[in-house]
Every structure is written in structure tokens, then in C-alpha cells.
Chains A and B, each alone.
Chain A
Amino acid sequence: MTEQRHPADRDDKFAFYMDLLAHDILNNNQAVLGYLELVLAAPGTDRTAKKFAEKAVSHVRTSTILIENIKRLLATRAVDPDSFRPLALQSSVSLSERDLTKLFPDKKLKVRVAPCVERAFVIGNSAAHDLIMNSMVNMVRLDPNDEVHLSIELKEVQVKGKMCWRISLEDPNAELPPALRGRDVESIYLQDSSTAVRLSGVLFAKMIAQRLGGDFEAQELNAKGQKKGATFVITLRKASGP
């Protein structure tokens, strides 16, 4: 297992055990992923088995993201937003796009990014990156099509006296779950646990955004006269540069 530590209080102990569990699950994911790779590379594996193995790989990757989310929530639970370093939005989006193609090998992904994203920095370093990545993963999971079109727009806004970037992540074909339609993301807490579990990625996004001094909302595109589609609106504190 891990090195000896002596957590002082109950909160620390809880975080310590959660961290140990997360670490052990990641180790197990490593083993599953490794052997699936062997199956995929074996000359005797037929096409159907390969397809199933690829789906299993995708689920292991999703499991890993969920575990990383738990670790991130633990790591940011008592951190002052001002202590976070800047994150270049463009590099975060590019990295996320690259990882999404690995995560969803069955889907064809097209991401259109507004040019101003190139010059935008937000406060939140790796936590903000997790938020961007997680939001994109959630959106792709809401889109039932094989070809997914995401677009990212940016707007400068002022929230509670602080300059922020409002990042709109839009998918014209995503299907927002009924539990999120016309409701605040935090209403997920009021749902039955099976619904809440399915929407945990969205809840995570909301919690991390708030911990970074920003916010996260999920909206339908219906409001604009369209029949389907969804937008995630992520508000993050603006950083002036790297």
C-alpha cells in the first residue's frame, strides 16, 4: 500500500482513506487496461471481440476520470481560489480534445473553438483543466450520434466585482436529461440516487467551478427555438496571462 501517515482529524482521515481507495482503483484500472491492450493486440482476436474490448477500454478510461474527479474534489476542498495559478484555455481545450478521441474511439469528434480562446487565461491550473475536460466528456456522453460537433465560445463578464471568462460549450445534438431541464444543476441533489449517480460528472463540474470562484450551468438550446441541444456555461475567473 502506501507510506505511513497520521491524519490528525476526522476530515483528514476521511480524505486519507478516500485517497487510498482512489489510488487502489487506479491501480486496478491500470491492470484492466493493460490486459485489454494485450487482447486488442493479439493476432487471434476477431473483429467482434476487438470491438467489445475497445468498449471496455473506453469504460475503464471513464472510470479513471471519475476517480480523478474524486481526487480533485478532495484536493480542492479547502483551497482559496486565489492560490490557483493561471491556465491557458487553448491548451486545455486541445489536450481535452486529444483525450476525448481516445476516450470515445467509436465517435467522430469535431470541435470548433472561437479564435479569442487562444489568448484567454483562467485561474485554476489543473483543477480548471479537469473542469474543461470533464465538461467536454459530459457533453459527448449526452450526444447519441456517432459524429459529435462541439463549439466553444467565450465572453468576458464581470461577476461579483471580478473579471471572468464565460465559456459556452455547445452541442446542437446533445440531449439534456430531464432532471437538468430548466433546473439548476444543484437540483441533482434532490433527485433519487440512481439519477444523481448518472449526473455525477455534471455535479462535479459545478462543485469544482464554484471552488475556483466561478460557476457552472447546464442549459437547453430550446430557449433559442431549437428542438434539441445543450450548452454548458462555465464561468471562471480571468487571469491576465501565464
Chain B
Amino acid sequence: MTSVLIVDDELFIVELYRDILQLRGYRVTGTAFDGEEALKKYTTSTDKPDVIIMDHRMPVMNGVDATKAIMKLNPSQKVIFVSADVLVEKEARDAGAIDFLPKPFRMDDLIEKMERIASLR
């Protein structure tokens, strides 16, 4: 079962992803509301997620910086970047994100990307 860490500062977005991913059979290992919390959870957890769904605009630490920090810890970590800021796509990919989805996107598109990543394992 593919595991996921959800990082977004909006509670309703976190709940949306969690609801849909759990319904589709994914295991949500945790959630974080900013980049720093995500980094802390990622560092301390023994249950590393297969995929991280990462937002960009968040307080304390944004998604690009969090992705860079996580990729430094584990260069093979799969991060799907999701943001309403399409202009941040290049930065996100340069930071190590394997894919980018501009908000709002179809959840089926996210699932498709998750499945593709899972098939690479």
C-alpha cells in the first residue's frame, strides 16, 4: 500500500486529500501544515512516506525550501508539488519535485501520478 505525507497549510485541503486518498486505498502516514513541520515529521518518523504531496505557500517554511531540505536528507524521496502558483513549477522541479500539479486539479490526475510513482518502486 502506497504511503503518503500531506503538507498543506489549509486544513480543508488536507482533509480533502486525506478523504480521497484513503478512499482510494492509500495510507496517509501524517499531515503537516507548514514546511518546517513537514521536515520535522519526516526527519523524526521511522515510517517514511513513499510520496509527499507538497503545497508551496505556507507559513514558516514554504514548499520549495521544504522539498530542498527533504531531498538533501533523501535524494530518492518522491515529492508531488501542488500549488495555485503555476510560476513556481520550475523552482519546485529544480528543488527535486518529481511532478507538479497546478491547483485546482482533478483528483484523478493526482491519483494517476501517485500510481505512476508507485509503479516505479
Q: What residues of chain A have their CB less than 8 Å away from a CB belonging to chain B?
A: 1-3, 22-23, 26-31, 33-35, 37-38, 60, 64, 126
Contacts and interface: CB of A to CB of B under 8 A. Distances in A.
Given A3-B59, A34-B107, A37-B106, A27 B20 contact: no
B10 interface: yes
Contact of A60 (B12, B16, B104): B104
Contact of A38 (B23, B58, B105): B23
A27 B103 contact: yes
| A-B pairs with lowest CB-CB distance, top 3 | A30-B104, A26-B84, A2-B57
B18 to A, nearest CB: 11
Interface residues of B, number: 22
Given A26-B104, A27-B103, A60-B104, A35 B57 contact: no
Nearest to A26: B84
Interface string B14-28: 001101100100000
B29 interface: no
Contacts of A60: 104
A34 B20 contact: yes
Nearest to B19: A38
B13 interface: yes
Given A27-B103, A33-B106, A38 B20 contact: yes
B106 A27 contact: no
B59 A27 contact: no
Contacts of A2: 57-59
Contact of A30 (B23, B58, B85, B103): B103
A35 B16 contact: yes
Contacts of B104: 26-27, 29-30, 33-34, 60, 64
Nearest to A102: B106
Interface of B: 9-10, 12-13, 16-17, 19-20, 23, 57-59, 62, 84-86, 103-108
B84 A27 contact: yes
Contacts of B62: 3
Contacts of A26: 84, 103-104
Nearest to A60: B104
A97 to B, nearest CB: 18
Contacts of A126: 86
Contacts of B10: 27
A26 to B, nearest CB: 4
Given A2-B58, A27-B13, A27-B104, 10 more contacts: A23-B84, A26-B84, A26-B104, A27-B103, A29-B104, A30-B16, A31-B12, A33-B104, A34-B17, A34-B107
30 contacts: A1-B57, A1-B59, A2-B57, A2-B58, A2-B59, A3-B57, A3-B59, A3-B62, A22-B84, A23-B85, A26-B84, A27-B10, A27-B12, A27-B13, A27-B84, A27-B103, A30-B104, A30-B105, A31-B12, A31-B13, A33-B104, A34-B20, A34-B107, A37-B20, A37-B106, A37-B107, A38-B19, A38-B20, A38-B23, A60-B104
B94 to A, nearest CB: 18
A56 B20 CA distance: 19
Contacts of B17: 34
A62 to B, nearest CB: 12
Residue from the set A3, A22, A26 with the largest chain B CB neighbour count within 10 Å: A3
